Amino acid sequence: MKPEETGSRYDRLALYWQKQHSNSTYGLAALERAIKFTENKFTENKSTALDVGCGSSGRFIEVLIEHGFVPAGVDISAEMISLASERHPEVTFYAADICTWQLPQKYDLISAWDSTFHLPLAEQKPVLKKMCEGLNSKGVLLFTCGGTSGPEEISGGFEGETFDYSTLGVNEFLRLMDEFGCTCKHVEYDQFPENHVYMIAQKTE
Ligand SMILES: C[S@@+](CC[C@H](N)C(=O)[O-])C[C@H]1O[C@@H](n2cnc3c(N)ncnc32)[C@H](O)[C@@H]1O
């Protein structure tokens, strides 16, 4: 499925997502763990963060603000971004496809929680490279992926919509992190026996 089609399907779920997930703590422990690896300054030179596939709830954005970050969000769904902007008018949001979008700056933290797992398989490597290269020195990347040992593509239903998912597999993501100048700090099958994995990596100096 092309990213634009994924975006159209999420457009139809944007309001539902905001209502359903605004108070959800899903993934927040992982975000807190990732934040601990950053050199978050909490001074006037605030750390910067980007939430890739941020959705409409603003839940990652809120935690980042609480920790003193200046966050930004990007999402391919214009409806998700419209609702997220209403909730956090002070935050910069971009309606864009992470596959083609050029990051406007480097960040101290980049999160991609349950978003890049929707990319076509061929986009996984270039988008991981883009996110790793988009980190400042010692910057931290948090992302989720399918926890297979090799590449896989699957489809699944959610709230009446069908979505595609792809993964390079855990071994290849770990290898690529190293290739793209990052060190793996944490890998967790956080919903075992589900094949859902989150990874934290830090830009090597
Ligand atoms: C399962 S939702 C997760 C939303 C949010 N990260 C959260 O955890 O609440 C997936 C999000 O990723 C976005 N997304 C999917 N493909 C994308 C792409 N190519 N570029 C940017 N965002 C994308 C969707 O529009 C959707 O908002």
Q: Choose which residue among 9, 10, 16 to substitute to test ligand 1 binding: the one with the highest number of ligand atoms within 8 A of its C-beta.
A: 10
Cβ of 75 closer than 6 Å to ligand 1, yes or no, is yes
Do residues 84 and 64 touch, judged by C-beta distance below 8 A?
A: no
Among residues of the chain, what percentage have pLDDT more than 70? 98
Cβ of 144 closer than 6 Å to ligand 1, yes or no, is no
Cβ of 130 closer than 6 Å to ligand 1, yes or no, is no
Amino acid, single-letter form, for residue 163: F
More confident call, 41 vs 150: 150
Nearest CA to ligand 1 atom 9: 55
For all residues of the chain together, what is the average pLDDT? Answer: 96
39 confidence band (pLDDT: 50, 70, 90): confident
pLDDT in tens, 117-176: 999 999 999 999 999 999 999 999 999 999 999 999 999 999 999 999 999 999 999 999
Cβ of 58 closer than 6 Å to ligand 1, yes or no, is no
Nearest CA to ligand 1 atom 27: 55
How is residue 72 written in tokens?
């930004």
42 confidence band (pLDDT: 50, 70, 90): low
Query: Would you say residue 85 has pLDDT above 90?
Result: yes
pTM here?
A: 0.97
12 confidence band (pLDDT: 50, 70, 90): very high
